[in-house]
Amino acid sequence: MSEKEHVIIGTAGHIDHGKSSLVKALTGTDPDTLPEEKERGLTIELGFVFMDIPEYEKQIVFIDVPGHEKFVKTMVAGASNVDAVLFIIAADEGISVQTREHFDILELLGVGEGIIALTKSDLVDADRLERVRAEVGAFIHDTFLESAPVIPVSSVTGAGLDDIKAALMAAGRRVRKRDDCGYFRLPVDRIFVIHGFGTVIAGTVLSGGIKTGDRIEILPERIEAKVRGIQVHKAKRDISGLGKRTALNLHDIDKELLRRGQCAIMPGLIAPATRIDARLRLLRQAPKELKMRDRIRLHIGTDEVIARVILLEKDKLLPGESMLAQFVLESPTAAFYKDRFIIRTFSPLNTIGGGEVLDIAPPRHKRFDAAALAGIRRFEGSLGDAVEQFFMKTPDKSRTAEDAAVGLWTDRRAVRDVIQKLLNAGRLKKILSERDERYVAAEVWPALLEKIQAAVKKYFAANPHRPFMPLADLHSRLVRDADESMFKAAVEELIANGAVIRKEGALTLPGFEARLQAKDQELADRVEAIFRKAGYEPPLEEDVCRELRLPLNQFRKILGTLIKQGRLVRLDPKVTYHHDAFEKARASILEYLRLRRTITISETKDILRVSRKYACAVLEFLDKTQITRRNGDVHVIK
């Protein structure tokens, strides 16, 4: 029989309304395990209790959270990843302060299922119970718990426990299966040490799977560790996966390096977030407006970080309103696309709002900028909109389908399907690099091609004596506009279109001819005249340099230009002909070959009346340029 699927049920409600007592009555296990909790009768830490119902196809896992206002941070950490809530309201006290705050937190976190338990029902009469029912009905009207069953229960007498169990099972069947992007992720809500085994982290697996021996990375500290062992429901397992409460025994990791709020993922997937773009909503009952650069406490996953709020659309966010905003974090955290979060005032501590993460690695935005706001809103739209925006937001970088899947924490196959549709619609452009397929937003491509052409033209305007522009020089001028893959693909496209010409690992423009500066042109004419006069037996290049008494660098520049222009032809490092002399020699040899079909070095010496050195250089250059080819001791037309 396969292992049962877990349903994570979080408790919530005001202090001393009986959350822990009800969990104990349902399961037989006290979720309060700390001596201080038992002594004070007060939940301080998160409690985790499994409830096995033999006839039920799933396994219920309770996360019991503190109700005291001092421990709301802990409550949010526990409630951040639950499937449903067991919402507790004491029949003798009714709706209280923490009832309202816990309810707001759950609604902001997007919890979709729940049950309302009217605890301590044995302490009130029927009239009081009905009044509390009416109060609760008004409280939950038009909220996520509007259709939730309201069940009176007593942890003392046991009345209503069977009804609670039945409602929990029904809620578990209604819970929507979590989306699974395939990448392992476990927000850490517990850390402890087991004697003889070492450090253990625990949490709910929100995506992907894990097996013994895997390596994980713990964000935001970027600690790498190896999984030594796995437990699910206190039983040893080789693997664990989506939705399961899981404990990971880590190899050689000091407990002092770990804390609640970290997140274990597959290594190397994402960097810790230091800025976050989000849709932020302020509660209607928030005590005051939120202003630009207000300092708040951001609760995300199981973590709490201090952040400044950058309001992008208005100067103030009023209670009940929502707005696009950017959080500038004072310390990094693990954040993921579409994560829900809570914000609380820095001091005094009050829950005032929450929202949804839209971008975990945004740039700084200019406030009120229409283009920036439109881009952020695409992350709120369809998967197609979000994928397109993922590529559009980094116009200077090409990205892979895997990059988009990780950035949007979405199933890779779904992202690839969307990318293909965007390619078909002309919204993305594919770039084939040496390693993988990469993509850029199609709208940035024409501008990049224009920038490359403009850079080449500007180079030759400033360097008219240089026949070619080195590719490395060109890329260095465009490093802020395109990564290496984009640059190479754009250059190849320009070459294919004839907009630029490639030669010897460099570029030039169609019709461009290098020209020397006036002061060098006279010297170039003198150099050319020496080689022209020499005919078939030219001097060594270094002898010409000495004859003209030129600095070596200047001579090399002039000689290189003459060769690039085709006025001189370098046959080998020791032999350089004037163009006219080489063409005359080539014509004579080809005429001989047409009559005799083969030619030897000795015959070439006689035709040109030169030494063996020059005859060999001419024939080998004709072979190298594929005009002729060597066949034993003779050369023939290719």
> Which residues pair with residue 264 across a beta bridge?
186, 218
Contact, 90 vs 111, CB < 8 A? no
Give the confidence band of 35 by pLDDT, cuts at 50, 70, 90. very low
What is the C-alpha separation between 126 and 165, in angstroms, rounded? 23
Topology agreement, domain 185-265 and domain 273-372: yes
What is the C-alpha separation between 502 and 614, in angstroms, rounded? 31
Q: Residue 495 is inside which H or E element, if any? A: helix 484-496
What does the mean pLDDT of the chain come to?
90
**What pLDDT score was predicted for residue 165?**
95
Give the confidence band of 70 by pLDDT, cuts at 50, 70, 90. low
Beta 303-311 vs 322-333: how paired, if at all? antiparallel
Q: Which of 23-37, 159-173, 409-423 has the lowest mean pLDDT?
A: 23-37
Question: What CATH architecture does domain 185-265 belong to?
Answer: Beta Barrel (2.40)
CATH superfamily assigned to domain 273-372: Translation factors (2.40.30.10)
Domain boundaries, the chain: 5-174, 185-265, 273-372, 445-508, 528-637
| CATH number belonging to domain 445-508 | 1.10.10
Q: Any idea how long the chain is? A: 638
Chain centroid offset of residue 392 CA: 13
Give the confidence band of 620 by pLDDT, cuts at 50, 70, 90. very high
3-state secondary structure of 250: strand
Describe the crossing of helices 541-548 and 552-564 by its angle, rounded to 10 degrees: 120
Cα torsion through 309, 314, 316, 321, rounded to 10:
-90
Q: Which residue has the tokens 């970088």?
A: 397
My answer on whether omega of the bond before 348 falls inside 30° of 0, hence cis, is yes
Q: Which fold has domain 528-637?
A: Arc Repressor Mutant, subunit A (1.10.10)
Q: Which of 61-75, 121-135, 196-210 has the lowest mean pLDDT?
A: 61-75
Task: From the options 3.40.50.300, 3.40.50.2300, 3.10.20.70, 3.10.180.10, give the CATH code of 5-174.
Answer: 3.40.50.300
Could you tell me if residue 61 is left (phi over 0), alpha (psi between -120 and 50 degrees) or otherwise beta? beta
**What pLDDT score was predicted for residue 238?**
94
- pLDDT tens, residue by residue, 246-299: 999 998 898 999 999 999 999 999 999 999 999 999 999 999 999 999 999 999
What is the C-alpha separation between 400 and 419, in angstroms, rounded? 10
* Angle, vertex CA 198, rays to CA 193 and CA 199, nearest 5: 55
Task: Give me 147's structure tokens.
Answer: 């259709």
Contact, 208 vs 217, CB < 8 A? no
Chain centroid offset of residue 49 CA: 36
